[in-house]
Each structure stands twice: as structure tokens, then as C-alpha cells.
Structure 1
Amino acid sequence: MRPVAIVNPRAAGGKTARAWKEIAATLGPVETRYTEAPNHAATLVREAIGGGARRIIAVGGDGTVNEIANGLIEDGRPFDPRVSLAVMPFGTGGDYRKSLGIRDVESAVRLIREDAPALPTDAGRIVYRSHEGTTESRYFVNVVSFGMGGEVAAGARNWFSRFGGKAGFFYSTLRAFFSYQAQTVELTVDGERAPLRPAMNIAVGIGRYHGGGMHVCPRARLDDGLLEITKIRQLPFWELLRDIHVLYSDNIYAHKKVRHFRGKSIRASASGRVAIEVDGEPLGCLPVEIDVLPGVLSVVRLAGPR
């Protein structure tokens, strides 16, 4: 059966639907289905697989990819191991595609046209407290963060249309900095408790980038079966302004206020409310339980460390 493209028509400020029609015409036979509501993409994935689809093309931003991944995984295993995922990056942040080695839409088109192989790729599962206070679970493909990152994700949406992805995240980061108070988070990695110190943000990555290009987990790999954890302690404003460029480089671990860990399983809690974001979406708050799912996805991407 021909590939099925699942398109978020609202991505990239509503420009995605028209742009996709032009791109699809260059790819050969492709069936297109459009999302109509939040989390609709996961339902469309299951319907496509039920109809015999063996490749799903995610057309949208990181949120669209996340929803599709939640349709491709069930009970921590591939819903159908014969099905692969390709990413056509539109949308606001576009962080996951950077770890896949996809520079832009044109490079994604080349990978699909050249029938690039789909490689085993890790994902993660997070159990968290929703905004309504219920315990929920979700799969993720890129980065979970809690602390200021959760506040930034919630506020950034207000600035996307005005400034675009990277600039919108950057502006939201500066605004959140003035209002966010560092919280003491009890963090356990593979059963070992990390030192208790107030943290401005903690990122847990399978991919390397989040927040519109911040290189927050530079040693993360998509296929090593591990989570990369980056903990940033409280920074005074002058230090943030001086060192903000470090967040966009691959040298973040050289900063004296940054610590990093690696592991397969993470538990985090706090006495106060600490917001979380999952692949760029603000979903709730601590406590969380996060576990890696090695090789659970089959994703079209460049080989090697990403």
C-alpha cells in the first residue's frame, strides 16, 4: 500500500496544508489524511495501519510527530513492527528533525524519494500528573523538561505567530526567567538519588534539541537505549544573558551550573508545583516517572550519532 501522510493543517501558521499538496505531488502515490483535533493523529495512524499502511509520514511540527508516535506504540511495544515513520518537518520548533539529521523540508523530501532506510529508534514513556490532577501516561520521541521549560512551553505559544519558532521560544524563555523560582526537585536515576539542589530546569532527552534549537542534551543518541539528563541550576539574570549562547551550542556541559546524568529510568518529584513539557507540549506537572523504550520505533533518518 502507498504511504499515508498525516498532516496537521494548522502547523506553521496554517501554511502546511497548501505546502504539502505541492510536495506530495513530487513524491509519487501518497494518501493524505488531515488532523481535525488534538490527538487525532494517533487515531489516524491506527486507521491507516488497519488499512494496510506500512509507512506513515508525519507532516507538521514536533507535536504532530509526538501524536503519531503515540499511535505507533502500544503497551511499550510497536503497535505493528512492519510500520515505519518518516518526518516532513513543518511547524514551530522543529527540534526532533535536527536529531534525525533532517536540515529542512528539502532534505526530508530527498530521504523519502531515495527510499532511505528506516532505523531502530528509541522513544520514551512518561507517567505524569495532568493539569486536572489525574495520573496520565504518554510516549515521547524527543525531550521532556520540567521546571522553567514547562513554563516556557506554556507561554511560547503566545509568541509563535509574532516572532516565529526559535525567536518565540527565546522571548518566552526571557519572560519566564523573571517570574520562575528555582525548585528543589528530588531526582532519582536508575535508583540512585541525585544531589538535592534547586534547579531552574531539568531536561530528559532522547533527542538533542528542544525549545526552538537549544542544544540541551548534546550527548543524547537516538539508538543507545539511554536517556540523557541535563540539570541547570538557578542562574542570576546577568549570567543568563552572558551565557545564553551556551544553550544553543554543544558545550552546555562545560558550564559550572550544569550537571548531567545518563540512565534508563528516572523518577522526579517536588513539594511545590513544577510544570512539565513533553515534546514541546505543556501537559501537566511533577511527579513523573520516565523510562526509555529502546528501538521501539522504526524511523527514516541518517545513520550515526545524532
Structure 2
Amino acid sequence: MARKTMVIVNPASGNGKTRISWPDIKKNLEAAGLEFDDVFTTCRFEATHFASQALRDGYDTIISVGGDGTLNEVVNGFFADDKMINPEVRLGIIPGGTGGDFIRTLNYPGDYKEACQILGRGEARKIDVGQLHFIDNDGKPTQRYFVNIAGFGMDGAVVERVNRTSKFFGGFLSFLYGTIMALIQFESFQLSLEIDGKLVYEGPATMAAVANGQYFGGSMQIAPQAVLDDGVFEIVLIEGLKKWKLLRCLPSIYKGAHGQFPEVRFMQGTTVRAVSRDRALLDIDGEQPGVLDAEFSLLPGVLNIIC
């Protein structure tokens, strides 16, 4: 039985570069032997609606064309009432955004021509997905799913700054500039952190990442030991740091070498609870949808991804 494929395109991703490259992407998909329908997003969260509707209409392969934020929206469309709409659905990726962090862990090409060839072959593997309950920016309890990393603290402040300014200079420079500017203004927040029901930290914090993938922030290797299909989160905590020391720590994060600093802790678990009396911004796959308090849960091996 032939598969039905829907391609969800965010033309605004990559600061609008995807809109320009889409005609050639389409030709490459067709050359790879794929038959598909396509739809373009025009606003935030529309990719979630398109993915959900496509699954209800019988599509069993969904391809996301865009960046980490677009991919996150598509994956959120795979779920309804706390379960997968179609557990057999396959997710495909054509990179086109600013960060491109998830594909680094996946060892997936950033070039769309190579990506189209992989999609044509159609080989898939199962990976874990994170589920997150939190407070949105309007103060309402909500939930989202993530495939890469959900963090809070300074990384949330960086993402908020990057997403409201131009990404013209691409992922690395946009996030590096956003990080430096956020660092200048950022103050540590009080954090209570539980992993698998056990209190592991209480005190001042700079940031924490609950990681399925290894990279965030435009190529920072924040969680070098994270594996997409090992059934656990890699949790990285950076305790409260003076700004000068945080600036010293920053270059090592790009190399995954920040474990040399005693204020950096690496832990593992399947559930995480983070509480703060301060306003700590969340970062979910490169988007800034809300604040702490938050609860994270791992859903092992639920997503089929073509790679």
C-alpha cells in the first residue's frame, strides 16, 4: 500500500530563505521518487494544525520543511489527548531554519538535496519524545512536546531575544549575539529541581537543560552525552554563576567541554520538576512559549523519524 505524504513548509524559516529555495526543494523531492501534497504556514502554530489534520485525513508520512521551531510545531500535531494520533506516522525533515540544532544530534545533513535523497530511501528509526507541562506566557497551564531540548533560565532569555530580532546572520552568529546580550542583563534565579521524584538541587541557577538531543542555541553542545533513543533525559544544570565566570564558561559549551566547571552538573532521569519563585523563561526546541513552574516527562521510542 502506497504511503500518503504531506509536506509542511514554513516559507519564513531561515529568515525567508525557505520561500526562495522551495521550488528547487520540490524538484529534488520529486526526483527522489516521492509523491506528496504540500501546504504553507502563514502564522505560528499553524504547522501543528496542518500536521494534526493531515494525520486525521490518512497521511502517514509528514515532512517538516523549516527550522527547529517548525519541527516542534509539526511534532506537536502528532499528539491528541496525551497519545499519538497515528503511532505509525513517520516524520521527515528538510532543514531550512536558523538554529538547525536537532539535526546535529541526528547526524542529518543540513543540505536539502541530501535530505531529499534520505527521504526518498525512507529508512526510519524510533526516537524518544519529551512531554512538558508548564505555564504559558499568558499565565495559563499548558503542555507541549519536544524532540530536542527544553531548557529554562538564561537560554530562555536568549531564545526570546533572538526570536524578536532579525536572524539575518544565521544560526551561530544570531544565537551568539543573543547570548552575549542576554548575559549582560541576566540575573540568576532561585531553583528547586527534582529528578525522578528526588530533590537534587535547591539554590541559585543560571540555566538548566532537559535534553533529548545534544545541541541548542545555534550549535552549543550543552548535553554531549544525550542520546535520542536511550530512554532517559540528560539533565544539565549550571548553578548560579558570576557574569565573568559565565563568560569564561561560554566557549566551552560550544565544544561540550563545560563539565570542567564545578558549577556544571550532569544528571539523568525520566521525569523532571522545576519550580522557581522568580520569572524563569522556558526554551522549547528554540521557541519561548512560557515560564516555570514546569514538569518534564520522557516518552520512550514513540516517534518514527526518517534518517
Q: TM-score, normalised by structure 1?
A: 0.93
Paired position in structure 1 for 2:118: 111
Paired position in structure 2 for 1:126: 132
Paired position in structure 1 for 2:20: 18
* Letter matched to residue 44 of structure 2: P
> How far does the alpha carbon of each residue in 1:226-272 deviate from its partner, in whole angstroms, 9 at most, with x for none?
11110112333333333322111122223222001110001111111
Paired position in structure 1 for 2:219: 213
Q: Which runs of 4+ in 1 moved over 4 A?
A: none
Paired position in structure 2 for 1:73: 79
2:279 to 253, 258, 273: 273
1:240 to 235, 246, 250: 246
Q: Is the contact made by 1:5 and 1:31 (CA closer than 8 Å) also made in structure 2? A: yes
CA distance in 1, matches of 2:53, 2:278: 41
Q: Is the contact made by 1:276 and 1:285 (CA closer than 8 Å) also made in structure 2? A: yes
Paired position in structure 1 for 2:91: 85
Answer yes or no: is 1:38 the counterpart of 2:44.
yes
Residues 158, 39 of structure 1: alpha-carbon distance in 2 compared, 3 angstrom cutoff: closer
1:113 Cα offset (Å):
2.5
* Letter matched to residue 280 of structure 1: G
CA distance in 1, matches of 2:141, 2:53: 27
> How far does the alpha carbon of each residue in 1:164-210 deviate from its partner, in whole angstroms, 9 at most, with x for none?
22111111111111211111200000011013231101011111111
SS of 1:260's partner is strand
State how many pairs are aligned: 300
Answer yes or no: is 1:6 the counterpart of 2:8.
yes
Aligned-residue Cα RMSD (Å) equals 1.5
CA distance in 2, matches of 1:191, 1:126: 16
Q: Is the contact made by 1:59 and 1:87 (CA closer than 8 Å) also made in structure 2? A: yes
Task: Please identify, of 151-160 and 130-139, the stretch whose mean Cα deviation from structure 2 is larger.
Answer: 151-160
SS of 2:44's partner is coil
CA distance in 1, matches of 2:51, 2:233: 26
CA distance in 1, matches of 2:94, 2:255: 25
Q: Is the contact made by 2:220 and 2:256 (CA closer than 8 Å) also made in structure 1? A: no
Residues 207, 24 of structure 1: alpha-carbon distance in 2 compared, 3 angstrom cutoff: same
* Letter matched to residue 13 of structure 1: N
Alignment of 1:73-222 (within 5 A): 73-105=79-111, 106-115=113-122, 117-222=123-228
SS of 2:14's partner is helix
Structure 1: which 5+ runs fail to align?
302-306
CA distance in 1, matches of 2:117, 2:261: 38
Q: Is the contact made by 2:52 and 2:79 (CA closer than 8 Å) also made in structure 1? A: no
Q: Is the contact made by 1:63 and 1:281 (CA closer than 8 Å) also made in structure 2? A: yes
Paired position in structure 1 for 2:64: 58
> How far does the alpha carbon of each residue in 1:84-107 deviate from its partner, in whole angstroms, 9 at most, with x for none?
001111111111111111131243
SS of 2:42's partner is coil
Q: Is the contact made by 1:7 and 1:60 (CA closer than 8 Å) also made in structure 2? A: yes
* Letter matched to residue 27 of structure 2: A
SS of 2:207's partner is strand
CA distance in 1, matches of 2:100, 2:272: 25
1:157 Cα offset (Å):
2.2
> How far does the alpha carbon of each residue in 1:50-102 deviate from its partner, in whole angstroms, 9 at most, with x for none?
33222111000111101110111233432102210011111111111111111
* Letter matched to residue 199 of structure 1: A
Q: Is the contact made by 2:205 and 2:241 (CA closer than 8 Å) also made in structure 1? A: no
* Letter matched to residue 5 of structure 1: V
* Letter matched to residue 178 of structure 1: I
Task: Please identify, of 162-171 and 127-136, the stretch whose mean Cα deviation from structure 2 is larger.
Answer: 162-171
SS of 1:92's partner is coil
SS of 1:167's partner is helix
